[in-house]
Chains A and B, each alone.
Chain A
Amino acid sequence: MSGPDNKVFQGHRGIGERVEGVALVADDNFSARYDLNRIEGTFSRPQHKLHGENYVGKILVLNIAKGGVATAWMLREMASRGMAPKALVLNAGNPIMAQGAAFANLPFVDRFDVDITSVIKTGDRVIVDPDKGTVEVAG
């Protein structure tokens, strides 16, 4: 999907390998333990803006990493069952999200020069390139 009309957003260098997929976006925060039903692969926290949405295989684009430490283990466990998102894109991660992504080898990029949740829409096709720290949206 690389092309001249694509928009590229620059973040900080991330973790994991380059992937392409479909975005699931909300101006809300993220914790695997607080927000997800990891068995069914859906957002289960009633207050979450993605409540009821299936995240499996999606490029999750959210605001900041919240909640506790469990996500550090959970991302790999979710990936082992084929129930993980394809990549994580946040405005601001935290150590737990980075540790979990490193352990799971799950692509993760954060710290953009724009509010990333406002420039990517659910359903957009995006490329996440952690080595370059970029997210590219099909034009």
Chain B
Amino acid sequence: MNTPSSGNNPISLDHDITLTSEEKAMLAGELGPARRYAMEQIIRVGGFFDAKDCIEVSQVHIMADPESLGLAGVEFLESLCALEADQRRVRVPTVTDPRGVDFEAYKRLGQTEEQANLERRAITAFKAMGIMMTDTCINYQTIMPPVRGEHIAYGDTGSSIYANSVMGARTNFQGGPSALAAALAGRVPRYGYHLDQCRRGSRLFDLSFRPDDLSEWGAVGGIIGGFMESYWDVPVVTGVDGTPTSDEMKQIGAALASYGSTALFHMVGVTPEAPDLSSVFDGPPPKSISIGRAEVEAFLASYRPSDDQLDVVVFAAPQLSLVEMETLAGLLDGKKINPSVALLVATSPEIKNACDRMGFTAKIETAGGIVLKGVCFYQMYAREIGEAQGWKRLMSNSAKLVNIIGGYGYEPLLASMEKCVESAVKGRIIT
């Protein structure tokens, strides 16, 4: 079993980070090995980014699906949860990102008992640490939206960019080991998007058209993401005609984060830190890059396959909101999905309960769709599911999913929810 230390050897922890007496006590192991691990992780990452000190966070969101964790990660979590309760419990409210296995659906999807068992072990460990199993990447829509200026530790790129940009909260991408450290120590190293100077705009984009649907908002995010040269680039978008909805901001943000490794964007006149251009740029803004319908068409065309073969339609990444679920249920009402095609939709456990209650789940499942809860497609052994089911050609309205899933052996295609549903019903790609 792994020890709750960062590595096998004593690690060099020369650093220039000013620590409080409490932080020093945690680092010395006086509050147990879990909090010592947390401070070691904080110092190593904080040192890498020249953090001067730590900052307390009010909530933590942790991504830790079993595919990413692997056996090594699960054994690490188990080494923490074997500690006494006062040593292993998180210090601030901590919630989880989507899991890798929906226990009501995994057999149908061809997931294995080995995968399900690894998931069970991870969940047991998280519960022992006092982590709340919300299993959602849309916690900013459904659990506890953060407040402007609130320092938080969010563990999903989509939730991070939404919290930073739309809410004006402050987080870096906190991958699992560091989100866990934030939860155990109650703080993060102060660098990056916790600092005012990192939240200024660096690139300017002008949107010369109004995207028609969520897939086009995602495409815009994907295009802008392609221009980003590092995590520190902050795109500023002007020209948006009318305030986007929460789901539209979710799609542009998730795609930007996925294609660009981007954690913050400003939308002038829409997001809270960008009432006007002069609020986000020091001095004259950079030359603007125009994004119009032609650019979006070209982006969509870059994924268009040579024939109309279709295996699976997926609505996920991010999980669907109640409003998206209602729209999908409406599109599928009274229809039948072609038996040669599978249609999957992923949402959070809370939204799934609401959909059960409101009849949306029944409409989707009567049409032949599968409603998954607490998971997201790319976080649930997508490669193994694809191989088990013989799926290759995948259609989605999520630019983020389309960006990720190519590496898992799929041939993805981006289209609107309407086109995806029409294609699922016809059994072939309609564009």
Which positions in A face B, CB cutoff 8 Å?
Answer: 12-15, 17, 33-37, 44-47, 64-74, 76-77, 79-81, 91-96, 98-100, 102-105, 108, 131
Which among A12, A13, A64, A70 is the interface contact of B68 at CB below 8 angstroms?
A: A70
**Does more than half of chain A's interface fall in helix, strand or loop, or is it mixed?**
mixed
Q: Is the CB of A102 within 8 A of B73?
A: no
Which among B8, B178, B407 is the interface contact of A33 at CB below 8 angstroms?
A: B407
Which positions in B face A, CB cutoff 8 Å?
Answer: 6-9, 11-12, 41, 44-45, 47-49, 63-65, 67-73, 76, 155-157, 172-178, 192, 229-232, 257-261, 378-379, 383, 403-404, 406-409
Query: How far is it, in angstroms, between the C-alpha of A33 and the C-alpha of B379 when the chains are bound?
Result: 10
Closest to A72 in B: B175
Q: Is the CB of A74 within 8 A of B8?
A: no
Q: Is the CB of B73 within 8 A of A76?
A: yes
Supposing A64-B229, A95-B172 touch, asked if A47 and B68 sit within 8 A by C-beta, the answer is no
Question: Whole-angstrom distance from the CB of B60 to the nearest CB of chain A?
Answer: 13
**Does more than half of chain B's interface fall in helix, strand or loop, or is it mixed?**
helix
Q: Is the CB of B63 within 8 A of A69?
A: yes
Question: Whole-angstrom distance from the CB of B53 to the nearest CB of chain A?
Answer: 17
Q: Is the CB of B409 within 8 A of A74?
A: no
Question: Whole-angstrom distance from the CB of B47 to the nearest CB of chain A?
Answer: 7
Q: Is the CB of A95 within 8 A of B175?
A: yes
Q: Is the CB of B231 within 8 A of A95?
A: yes
Q: Is the CB of A95 within 8 A of B176?
A: no
A-B contact pairs, 6 of them (CB 8 A): A13-B48, A73-B175, A74-B68, A95-B231, A102-B48, A105-B8
Please give 10 more A-B residue pairs, beta carbons under 8 A apart, in addition to A70-B175, A95-B192, A103-B177. A46-B406, A64-B229, A68-B258, A68-B404, A69-B176, A72-B176, A79-B72, A96-B175, A102-B6, A103-B178
Q: Is the CB of A33 within 8 A of B230?
A: no
Query: How far is it, in angstroms, between the C-alpha of A72 and the C-alpha of B426 when the chains are bound?
Result: 41
Give the one of B63, B68, B76, B156 with max A CB within 10 A: B68
Question: Whole-angstrom distance from the CB of B254 to the nearest CB of chain A?
Answer: 10
Contacts of B379 in A (CB 8 A): 70
Q: Is the CB of B174 within 8 A of A73?
A: no
Query: How far is it, in angstroms, between the C-alpha of A45 and the C-alpha of B257 when the chains are bound?
Result: 18
Q: Is the CB of B177 within 8 A of A15?
A: no
Q: Is the CB of A72 within 8 A of B261?
A: no
Closest to A71 in B: B175
Question: Whole-angstrom distance from the CB of A15 to the nearest CB of chain B?
Answer: 6
Question: Whole-angstrom distance from the CB of B304 to the nearest CB of chain A?
Answer: 15
Q: Is the CB of A131 within 8 A of B12?
A: yes
Query: How far is it, in angstroms, between the C-alpha of A98 and the C-alpha of B230 when the chains are bound?
Result: 14
Query: How far is it, in angstroms, between the C-alpha of A58 and the C-alpha of B230 when the chains are bound?
Result: 23
Q: Is the CB of A15 within 8 A of B404?
A: no
Give the one of B7, B65, B69, B155 with max A CB within 10 A: B7
Query: How far is it, in angstroms, between the C-alpha of A92 and the C-alpha of B49 when the chains are bound?
Result: 11
Supposing A80-B72, A92-B230, A103-B41 touch, asked if A34 and B177 sit within 8 A by C-beta, the answer is no
Contacts of A33 in B (CB 8 A): 68, 378, 404, 407
Closest to B154 in A: A69
Give the one of B71, B259, B407 with max A CB within 10 A: B407
Contacts of A77 in B (CB 8 A): 68-73
Supposing A95-B173, A103-B6 touch, asked if A13 and B407 sit within 8 A by C-beta, the answer is no
